[in-house]
Structure 1
Amino acid sequence: MINCDEIFELRDIKDYDRAVRRTGYGRFHYEVLAVSAMSILSMGFQNGLSSYVFPAAQCDLNFTSFELGILNMAFMIGGIIGCFLWGALADNLGRQKVLYSTHLFDALITIVCAVLPTATNLFVLRFLNGFLIGAPGSIIFTYVAEFQPPKYRTPVVCCCGIFFTLSWLILPLLAYFILPLQGLSFSLGNFIFFCPWRLFLIILAIPELLTALWILKMPESPKYFLAKGEHKECLAILRHMYSKNTGDHPDDFPVKNLISDVKMDTSNNVACDGKTLRVLRTMGGQMKSMFQQPLLTVTALTCIIMFANMFGMFGLGLWLPEIFVRFDQFEKLYPNATPSISELSTLVQSKNVTCEATFDASVTYNTVVIATSSLVFNLICAILATKVHFKVVPLVTMLIGGAASASIYFLSSSLQNLVVASLFQASMITANMTIGSIAVELFPTKVVGIALSLIMCSGRFGAVASSFLFGYYMDTQCEIPIFVVGAVVLLGGFLCFLVPRRSKEAPASFRMTHDIEVAVISAYDVKLR
């Protein structure tokens, strides 16, 4: 005789995407988006503060442009070293734990960075900032995407990108109001020095502390538990999502069983290993699978595209405020002349510029216009992402960014420079966020964390290379890095044409398991009738 409870359980089996859809969409998803927005704002502050804090610190610590480039490189190198660690830990220990701990320590190090007086300490602490902030940079998009129904994953990732852009709008406004407060400069003995740019750092650390505490209260990604084979924990989180979205009791959640789309290695030789060795073994298997077909092509393409994107975004992008400062100083010295990019280098070499610890109002205006245009551009692309294939937005924005960066050399007025710079920055930020959505779509769950880490690592190599290039040539021949950025970004845009149009198929073992379960359910249906 057939057990009716058994039939009920079989009929309630769902794959993950169908189960997430059954949780509804409401209060829980809005909270996930809000905490992710705070995380991305903090990440944006850390990535963009070099454009505002360190030109002011340059006067205090007597930095050259090359040393500012090295300071940017220290931050990016820290990100390169940490990215594989965070991605692997996220895949093996959980996204939420890694996000909470890295945000907490990054905020504390930023505060220490603000009060320690020496240039050497600044280099070391910025390296640690890059090392730690690489975790949310690699993981937060995976974390927020794994709570979303398939229909909303790419649009939500694009929406998250808006908050990264928003951080670059907030930064110049804060700089405009805080950096001129020279009355705040004082020292406590020979150990603690205080001035406006250090206050600026402390203010930027406060949202990150709040973010860490908020993430501590959030649940782990249910898809992480499903990938680990822990179905009860996954269902518990889905029930919580359902209850928070609908107001119903968690036990009313209609899904009782889940089909796992990935299988973790549970062989005896792995299970008997220590935890550290087990994690390392899993990391090795994950990395190996990414460099084998069918994932090899996707791995290569996404890594090269992100390299090109961050080569431009953190090369020319971070130096745009400095370029505006030099344009402004040139126009003050030569009111009737039309400055060009090459003449800005001549201006620095002639020693006609003075070190200023703050920005002129016109420079702040320019950076705010750039950030605002980027915000509007992100909103438009977030809407378009629901209408087009997931590779279209990064493809178009990379091509626009490459063309815009190369054209900067030929501009003859500050207004033209502002328009083109706005177009460049908007397209680069949008492309950066949507490249991550390609990875979420094309990589299997069990490797998506480490895949995003590898992609971000490739991007940071691009950022390091461009930071060195701009630092080395900015005071001599700044047209060279501008043309190089244009060529590299255009190459990345053309490579977007080669990104596969369809996501990966489910593993054969999963399809077979699913077919067997469907067949069993159908057999019970026949007998029941």
Structure 2
Amino acid sequence: MKKLESGFLKGTTFDDAVRLTGFGRFHYESILVCSLCVLVIGFQNGLSAYVFPAAQCELHLTSYEIGLLNVAFLAGGTVSCFFWGILADLYGRRKVLIGTHLTNAGVMIICALSPYTASIVICRFLNGFLVGGPGSIIFPYFAEFQPPRFRSKTSCYCGLFFTLSWLILPLLSHLILPLPIDYNFGGVLVLTPWRLFMVVLGVPEILVGLWFIRMPESPKYYAAAGKIDKSLDVLKKMFAVNTGRSRDCYPVKYLRNENKVRTNKYENSISCERKAIRLLKTVLGQIKSLYKPPLRSITFLICSIMFTNMFGMFGLGMWLPELFVRFEKYQALHPDSTISVKELASLFKEDSSETCQSFFNNTVINNTVAMGVTSLVFNFACCLAVGWINIRVVTMVALILGGACAGSIYWLTSSLQNLIVSCIFQATMISANMTIAGLGVELFPTSVNGIAVCLILFSGRIGAVLSNILFGYLVDSYCDVAILVVSAVVVVGGLLCLLVPSSGKRRELGVNRDNIQIAVLSNIEYK
């Protein structure tokens, strides 16, 4: 046993072992399946903007109830924020990805066929809870297969599929929502266009879940769990698929057990405890370390910035298609006149007692497609810019520009003006969301990076929930107030980016990754 352990210590580092697998067919497949997973996550986050306005008449939904349906999904994601990370550390990333995707597909189908609003609310909560699994662990799973020099670039381009989903959604709605479908099977099962739309979105969930069955577990997960032989087996498979050579030709024979070397002290002291309790203590210790110097100020700062971003992105962002619908309704009735957002909201409040009629207009879909294309181009440009410009500058510019665009909606008087401003707003919010996650990776040490990202996402989802409650309550009466609040909050987030320390400043303050990592490790040792 001592000889074996010595071999581990003298063996190849994990990053070197991954590099020696090459870069080929296996990595292309991992990029494709993980990109489709990100696409499905985007579908789940964006479908409310199309499904529930279309279902408004059938379910007799008020704007406040539509807001609650949005909140149910976001609340599910918020509740599960840390749960899936812990479960993935216990049982592996692959099992969580398979289970959450396949279960979520079943929930989508139940939600689509249910005739009751209450059951749809429960299903949307479960959708949010389940999609939080792949949302939390897909990028760590993906990155652990990639060679170090391709890791950041491939992760960035994989993230573009989230934006692509917001382009595909309006195109699908354009094809499905106008269909003349209305079937009622004994009052138990109902099938209408918006329900068919949800069933169609459940199909990619099934495909991705089944695809992950043929994918291996992350080799880094096996290595971190001390299963070095299994980690090597996965690396050998990657090598064989990439090169077409025999697994036995893989040059690495031993892996250095880096995790054991770094955490040996506190692992030995709790070796007799159950794995779940040990992991929970580790997680709590990591969270505790985030709120101690020198990480405390950075934790509050990045969490606050993500809060402001998602307050706008999933607040006003999810209601933009509804604003398009209202502008189109008014201009269809009054083609030669203009109206402000505030007057528009009041008008539809007064008309709310009239017979509900579903409204579908190709112009609305074209507008949302334009928003998706703009976001995709802008996000791609940001991916390129991050290599040349400091990431905090990109985040700051995106948030301030997005906040200014949100505020300008107050003075809009036409659907065209709304389209231009909305395209810029949506593009900047999604781009800022991507770069804030990048800030988290840059500022926090590896030992607490995963839990820090979970905490950042948790803060953002809290902002999204509060923003949707605000819009659902105010959109019919004080839409202008809700818009101005979003504008102010997002601009504040942009200004907070000025407080994010640059690399040079962190060195002056002694807040560099090495010093932080030493401080964190000392905080999570259990005595």
| TM-score past 0.5 threshold | yes
Moved more, 284-293 or 374-383: 284-293
* Residue of structure 1 equivalent to 2:340: 340
CA contact (8 A) 2:14 2:255 kept: no
Answer yes or no: is 1:151 the counterpart of 2:160.
no
Distance 2:266 2:153 in 1: 35
Deviation, 1:43, is 0.9
Q: Aligned-pair distance for 1:88?
A: 1.8
CA RMSD across the alignment? 2.6
In 2, Cα distance between equivalents of 1:446 and 1:505: 11
| Distance in 2 of aligned mates of 1:214 and 1:338 | 51
1:468 Cα shift? 0.6
Q: Which runs of 5+ in 1 are unaligned?
A: 512-529
Indicate the SS of the match to 2:351: coil
Asked if the contact 1:307/1:460 (under 8 Å) is kept, the reply is: yes
Misfit runs of 4+, over 6 Å: 8-12
Q: Which residue of 1 aligns with 2:408?
A: 407
1:241 to 219, 229, 238: 238
The alignment status of 1:505 with 2:511, answered yes or no, reads: no
Amino acid at match of 2:397: V
Letter in 2 for 1:308: T
Residue 224, structure 1, aligned to residue 191, structure 2:
no
Matched residue type, 1:345: A
Aligned partner of residue 351 in structure 1, secondary structure: helix
1:321 is displaced (CA, Å) by 0.3
Q: Return 320-329 or 280-289, whichever deviates more.
A: 280-289
The residue correspondences of 1:430-469 to structure 2 (distance < 5 A) are 430-469=431-470
The letter for the 2-side match of 1:34 is L
After TM superposition, the score normalised by the length of structure 1 is 0.89
Between the aligned partners of 2:448 and 2:502, the Cα distance in structure 1 is 20
Q: What's the counterpart of residue 425 of structure 1?
A: 426
Following superposition, the deviation at residue 354 of structure 1 comes to 6.4
Distance 1:10-1:335 versus aligned 2 partners, 3 A rule: closer
Letter in 2 for 1:250: R
CA distance in structure 2 between the partners assigned to 1:510 and 1:246 by the alignment? 40
Q: Does 1:471 align with 2:472?
A: yes
Q: Does the C-alpha gap of structure 1 residues 425 and 347 become closer, same or farther in structure 2, counting only changes over 3 Å?
A: same
1:10: Cα distance to partner? Answer: 9.1
Aligned to 2:20: 22
Q: Which amino acid aligns with 1:380?
A: A
Q: For 2:409 and 2:159, locate their aligned partners in 1 and report how far apart those are by CA, in whole Å.
A: 25
Q: Does 1:281 align with 2:281?
A: yes
Matches within 5 A, 1:13-412: 13-182=11-180, 184-255=181-252, 256-258=254-256, 260=258, 262-263=262-263, 267-268=267-268, 270-351=270-351, 355-412=356-413
Conserved in 1, the CA contact under 8 Å of 2:289 and 2:295?
A: yes
1:54, CA displacement in angstroms?
Answer: 0.4
In structure 2, give the amino acid aligned to 1:96. R
Is the Cα–Cα contact under 8 Å of residues 37 and 208 in structure 2 kept in the other structure? yes
Q: CA separation in 2, counterparts of 1:457 and 1:246?
A: 41
* Separation in 1, partners of 2:519, 2:484: 49
Cα deviation 1:322-371 (Å, max 9, x = unaligned): 00011111112222212221111122122078644352011011001000
Change (3 A) 1:46 1:283: same
Give 1:454 shift: 1.6
Say whether the 8 Å CA contact 2:374–2:427 is kept in structure 1: yes
Shift of 1:265: 6.6
Deviations 1:39-72 (A, max 9, x none): 1111111111111110111110100001101111
Q: Tell me the percent identity.
A: 50
Q: Secondary structure at the match of 1:147?
A: coil
TM-aligned CA deviation for residue 274 of structure 1: 2.6
Q: How far 1:478 moved relative to its partner?
A: 0.7
Secondary structure at the residue paired with 1:299?
Answer: helix
The answer for unaligned runs of 5 or more in structure 2 is 504-511, 522-527
Q: Which moved more, 1:467-476 or 1:392-401?
A: 392-401
Task: Please name the residue that 1:515 is paired with.
Answer: none
Asked if the contact 1:260–1:510 (Cα under 8 Å) also holds between the matched residues in 2, the reply is no
Distance 2:156 2:347 in 1: 40
The amino acid that maps onto 1:186 is Y
The answer to whether the 8 Å contact 2:8/2:256 transfers is: no
CA contact (8 A) 2:144 2:219 kept: yes
Partners in 2 of 1:441 and 1:147 — Cα distance? Answer: 20
Aligned residue in 2 for 1:521? none
Contact 1:12 1:254 in 2 (8 A): no
Contact 1:82 1:131 in 2 (8 A): yes
Q: CA offset at residue 223 of structure 1?
A: 2.6
Partner Cα separation in structure 2 for residue 404 and residue 136 of structure 1 = 31
Q: Distance in 2 between matches of 1:229 and 1:70?
A: 45
Aligned residues of 1:370 and 1:421 also touching (Cα < 8 A): yes
With over 3 angstroms needed to count, the CA separation of the structure-2 counterparts of 1:324 and 1:305, relative to structure 1, is same
Give the counterpart letter for 2:73 in structure 1.
F
Q: Secondary structure at the match of 1:111?
A: helix
